[in-house]
Amino acid sequence: MFVKKQLIVVGGANGSGKSTFADQYKEEYGIEYLGADDIAKEMSFDGSENNQIKAGKEFFRRLDRYFLRKQSVIIESTLSGLGLIKQIQKFKDDTYSIHIIYVFLHDVELCKKRVQFRVKKGGHNVPASEIERRFHRSLINFKQSYIPLADTWQLFYNGIKRPVEVAAGEKDKVLIYDNEYYTMFMEIAK
């Protein structure tokens, strides 16, 4: 049986719970995971801006290896920039199926609290100013720039004990599963 190559992108603001989603998909589908934060840890970087740039460059080098090997992969990004668009389009042009999962929270303050909690448990830090800078850009970019690239996509709200699937779509079709959270997303993604 032929299984189509997949690029699964798990997006969301810092502290939204992207890594948890990526881990679940990795386990469930047996697809390898690639994340810049893991690369930075592996390279023993201290989190400085220069080291983040080095980890980002290494991320794109490794992503290109998956592409050259025609291998499925799960990646994680805040989607606060547009740098992945070219890469996603390249995978799409090579007949990869593109699935984007976006995990959101309603408030940048909750994102900052979750990052600080992660740091207390030994995880990596993201400066509060960076979280604030990326928060709305991430939401807007997902809605305006990344959904159009996806063959399929899902939107989850992750601000309560258990993630809520809010909506899903493919091409021009959108299924809304939770009107309240979908309205919240549309309001904050303006």
Half-sphere exposure for 174 (CA within 13 Å, toward CB):
10
* pLDDT score of 1 more than 50: no
145, 139 in Cβ contact below 8 A? no
Q: Which residue has the higher pLDDT, 2 or 132?
A: 132
Please give the pLDDT value at position 41: 72
**CA pair distance 100, 190, nearest whole angstrom:** 20
Q: Tell me the longest C-alpha to C-alpha distance in the chain.
A: 48
The confidence score (pLDDT) of residue 90 equals 97
Does the pTM surpass 0.75? The reply is yes
16-65 pLDDT, tens digit each: 999 888 988 898 889 999 987 778 777 765 555 666 778 788 999 999 99
Letter string b/e over residues 60-73, b meaning 16 or more CB atoms within 10 A of that residue's CB: eebbeebbeeeebb
Q: Quick one: the chain helix, strand, coil %, rounded to 5? A: 50, 20, 30
Q: What residue ranges in the chain does DSSP mark as E strands?
A: 6-11, 33-34, 73-77, 97-104, 152-157, 164-170, 173-176
Task: Tell me the per-residue pLDDT of 150-166, one tens digit each, with 9 for 90 and over.
Answer: 999 999 999 988 899 99
Domain topology for 6-188: Rossmann fold (3.40.50)
| Residue pointed to by tokens 């807007």 | 140
Domain definitions of the chain by residue range: 6-188
